[in-house]
Structure 1
């Protein structure tokens, strides 16, 4: 009897799973009809019946099951006091950073890495320079700093060319530090990730620098001292489970 019940429940599970997948596929098809240029990475049911999560890179929005109504904003579980949208976005940010790869970043490593922070930076930003002037303090706290370029003035500007030149230098870390002290790097050009990093920062909603992404995928806008940053990251480690995308490599 138990075997019969178990088999029935298993069959029901497969049926429900297939129905969910079919519904998500129908939503995706409806989206294509209404917004043919939209190319979602995934479409999944949201916690609200009849509303679906649509993920595109590091962006998340919600759509009705007929694909007609699109909603942008945060979904909050009032009972549990949890921002469900931000939790999803945090994982998406880490996935995007993971896809870019640490080899496309300028990395300052401590002797023993306890935490990882991604920092979108502008060579000419005052608070970005302040942060890097204290790099030894971050390293002393065991925080590995992974820099990505975000020249706020945009492509083909002085700050942009400085970022490219630093990337193309023989010793990127040394060139980066010199540029942060105000030295203008010798103009160089080569294959570089600056445009990709600028686009990623925009996708994350950057409107200033420095912008710090923690190893949990949360955004900390602006300069955060090393002692404060390590406290934030330790608290996050205690409060939250590891997101799907790995923060440390």
Structure 2
């Protein structure tokens, strides 16, 4: 349990366990699992609180630990935490090809298997990590070559742990908000447009 604090409803307390929000009464006798909706506005208080708790500081991301892909003028930015053996990451990469005027910082976090570490090292150590990654994720061309260069993989895994990233892909936007999973390209585009 990370914290207990008063909830926006009198008599209830918010209990933060990992990245999950629960509610309890003042005695701790009852645990409520669910969302609080403000009826007058339809606002999902729990969802908003969850988004705030999962927010990061964009400036804290060390872009030296990622490889960069620029399309168009690169004016819009996202960070993607991905495993090279993640099927949802592959689906996301195919979708991201549709984005224009974007800079994508890809942080490799090999969490699925030993082969993920093997591929991540080959991608990072290649002469063009972005191209090698896209070739593998989109076109199915396996990475090949050396694996003995210095990589940021351990740093990326530590960052992922500190941000509570337990699955791939996870996307972060410049306002610090996150989208977990292979979200629809229309939702990514909509979010990017709100950040202009």
1:143 and 2:102 equivalent?
yes
Give ranges in structure 1 of 5+ residues lacking alignment.
1-37, 243-247
- Give the alignment's Cα RMSD to 1 decimal: 3.8
- Structure number with greater Rg is 1
- 1:79-228 matches, within 5 Å, as 79-95=40-56, 99-110=60-71, 111-114=73-76, 116-126=77-87, 128-129=89-90, 131-132=92-93, 137-138=98-99, 140=100, 142-151=101-110, 153-154=112-113, 157-169=114-126, 171-180=128-137, 181=139, 182-185=141-144, 186-188=146-148, 190=150, 191-192=152-153, 193-196=155-158, 199=161, 203-204=164-165, 206=167, 209-215=168-174, 217-219=177-179, 221-222=181-182, 224-225=184-185
Determine if the alignment matches structure 1 residue 64 to structure 2 residue 21.
Answer: no
Question: Mind listing any 5+ residue stretches in structure 2 that lack a counterpart?
Answer: none
TM-score when normalising by structure 2: 0.67
Deviation of the 1:82 alpha carbon? 1.7
SS of corresponding position for 2:84: coil
**CA spacing shift, 1:132–1:99, aligned 2, 3 Å:** same
Name the count of aligned residue pairs: 189
Which structure is higher in helix share? 1
Deviations 1:194-230 (A, max 9, x none): 43365468x3563xx54444556252632534x6632
Superposed CA deviations along residues 129-186 of structure 1, whole A, max 9, x for unmatched, are 4543565542x2x2332323354634xx212321244345565434433443423243
Asked which structure has the greater RCO (Cα within 8 Å, sep 6+), the reply is 2
Higher strand share: 2
Offset at residue 84 of structure 1 (A): 1.4
Q: Does 1:230 align with 2:193?
A: no
Structure 1 length as normaliser, TM-score?
0.56
